[in-house]
Amino acid sequence: MMPAENSNMNEATTGSRAQSIIRDMRLVVFLLSLPFGMLWFMLPVVGRDMGASAVEIGGLYSVFSLMTVLLRPVVGRAIDHFGRRPFFLVGTASYAVGNLAYAAATNVAGLYAARIAQGVGSGLTWLAAYSMVSDLAGGLERGGRFGQIDEMASRGGIVGIAVAFALMGYLGESAGWSASFYLYTAVGLLALAIAARRVPETAPARRAIPQEAGQPIPWSQRWRRYGALFHTSFTTLMGIVLLTASAYALTSPILILFLRDHITSSITYIALAFAPSALIYAFLPSRLGRISDRFGRRLPMGIALAVGGVVALAIPHLRSIWPLIMLWIAESVCFAGATPAEEALVADLSEPEARGLAYGIYTGTYSLGSVIGPLLGGWVYERCGEATPFFIAAGMLWLGALLIFRVLKVPAPAGRTVSETNATGA
């Protein structure tokens, strides 16, 4: 049996009830995401200030992703069996623990401990959240619904980094870093309280498997619903996800360092350069995500990877902040539509009873790329030249775009929307 909330799931997945659950989830995601912008800009800087090498900074990214790689495939099956809500709550609590560890960190080892706790939070929270959205949204509205969740993470990151920069300006970089994460810890506990009170279980009731009383369920029957996932389209998509996640992770730990060394040493100017893109990620995914609901998932995904390759190729040649701003704006517009499309495609390619596992494999594959990329990027940055990781990433992104347009086969979005279901009373 699923948790008690499941008795009302037929009502919860229709009309205003589904919209209310997603609204509460968006608030929780917003609160949890306050540290994200701060970590994107300042983690490499703080790590370098604590004496970390480029490879060790890459390791800070890889250890986070390693936790999600280890957790998500296993948790995905557990989410299908025990429900989404328990894992959403435990993940939210793990984020608060990670924030407290960042606040208390005084050396690189402390940063690694915080990244492990944050990785546990990410491995549980986002997998549960994606599964919940797929439960609540019909096929013709999934792109927009996933965009609503994604954009709240960006809004939280914008607010969080604004507060953090204000604290660092007043208290200094080191004290401001700690004060910011103590604040994020308190807000994370508030997010946990809201989730515990207002986010119910959304998983569909599991279909009973015929069996004789007292007899164990044969593994062949247990595997049947999961084995259906491993078809050509899903496997191809996971290969593309691994390739492109590795490409972006290749430059993640060294991007800010490269920009500080070659364009501007001011982290504030770099943050302001990224601000227009951050606003795009904060407000457009729910709108641009609908493009894939109308025109298919492949178009926004392929265009985004092609444009991302251009941006990666161009960055080593830039010596001014203004072209960087324009490139980041173009890239963010593309990915504001592509990311919800990719997340919705996972649901399109899986059955409702196996969606927890599907998102576990999807997010775990993405995280595996994020384990490989930072370590390789840091090593290439130090051994083969500062521009080389960007050139490699560009080639990988273009290969991903080619695979999407030439190899990946996907179904057209299908299924009625929540509003349509409610209107017909089905």
Asked, for residue 417, whether it belongs to a domain, the answer is no
**pLDDT tens by residue, 324-346:** 999 999 999 999 999 999 998 99
Nearest Cα to 92, choosing from 206, 210, 194? 194
Tokens of residue 361, six digits: 């494999």
Asked, for residue 215, whether it belongs to a domain, the answer is no
DSSP 84-95: SHHHHHHHHHHH
Nearest Cα to 354, choosing from 206, 254, 240, 186? 206
**pLDDT tens by residue, 200-217:** 998 876 544 444 444 454
- Domain range enclosing 77: 4-205+230-410
CA 167 from centre of chain: 27
Q: What is the CATH number of the domain that holds 101?
A: 1.20.1250.20
Give the pLDDT of residue 258.
86
Per the structure, the count of domains in the chain is 1
Asked, for residue 162, whether it belongs to a domain, the answer is yes
Give the pLDDT of residue 15.
62
Cα atoms in the 13 Å half-sphere on the side-chain side of 243: 20
Give the confidence band of 227 by pLDDT, cuts at 50, 70, 90. Answer: low
Nearest Cα to 125, choosing from 83, 89, 175, 179? 89
Q: Is 108 in contact with 100 (CB distance < 8 Å)?
A: no
Give the pLDDT of residue 414.
53
By percentage, how much of the chain surpasses pLDDT 70?
Answer: 87
Give the confidence band of 71 by pLDDT, cuts at 50, 70, 90. Answer: confident
Q: Tokens 């200094």 map to which residue? A: 172
Give the confidence band of 416 by pLDDT, cuts at 50, 70, 90. Answer: very low
Which residues are CB-neighbours of 106 under 8 A, at least 6 positions away? none
Asked, for residue 421, whether it belongs to a domain, the answer is no
Query: Amino acid identity, residue 163?
Result: V
**pLDDT tens by residue, 74-97:** 888 888 888 999 999 999 999 999
Tokens of residue 327, six digits: 């490139």
**pLDDT tens by residue, 128-150:** 998 899 888 876 777 888 888 98
Q: Is 91 in contact with 68 (CB distance < 8 Å)?
A: no
Q: Is 118 in contact with 106 (CB distance < 8 Å)?
A: no
Strands (E), 267-406: none
Question: Which one has a higher pLDDT value, 50 or 350?
Answer: 50
d(CA 273, CA 342): 27
Residue 98: count of CB within 10 angstroms of its CB: 27
Q: Tokens 């062949």 map to which residue? A: 220
Asked, for residue 361, whether it belongs to a domain, the answer is yes
